[in-house]
Homo-oligomer: A and B are copies of this chain.
Amino acid sequence: MSTNEGYTRQVTTLARLLIQQKWTVTAAESCTGGGVANAFTSLAGSSTWFEQSWVTYSNKAKATLLDVPESVLNEHGAVSAQTVEAMANGAAKNASADVAIAVSGIAGPGGGTETKPVGLVWFGFYIKGQVYSDKMLFKGDREAVRCQAIQYGLEKLNQGLVAALQ
């Protein structure tokens, strides 16, 4: 199964859940750089449940476009639970969306540290006012880390939606 086929399956499930609730989703992406939004819009008819999203690659963009407090970025860094939760919250608010996903990680090959190695990716989720986060350490090169992050983010978003709707 190609990566694209993997996305399609996840996005089809996501679309079904959102359409059922008449909800919209948005995204705030750092290391995936638009890959989540690209997966959303790979599905025809996605305009029903997706209107807009942000790629915020720099800290300044995270603060300016998504209202991530500079104190959060300074204290915890861009790759942290606090930052992705603020990104998801800011994106949902600014898009007036019911659901949001945020992704910030270290895709590599540079930028890794002992406490935040290459492959570490934080995910923030906003579902109807509930905000939470999750992290994963992916293996492989830059492309592999980014692809796995998109896939994992979509999976977790769907799981969160299913749980929220129970």
Contacts and interface: CB of A to CB of B under 8 A. Distances in A.
Given A29-B34, A33-B42, A44-B108, 6 more contacts: A29-B37, A31-B41, A34-B35, A38-B38, A45-B110, A51-B58
A65 B58 CA distance: 18
Contact of A34 (B38, B60, B109): B38
Contacts of A35: 34, 38
Contacts of A54: 52-55
A37 B30 CA distance: 10
Classify the interface of chain A: helix, strand, loop or mixed.
mixed
A36 interface: yes
Top 5 A-B pairs ranked by shortest CB distance? A34-B34, A33-B41, A34-B37, A52-B61, A51-B58
Interface residues of A, number: 39
Interface of A: 4, 27, 29, 31-38, 40-42, 44-47, 50-58, 60-61, 64-65, 95, 107-110, 142-143, 146
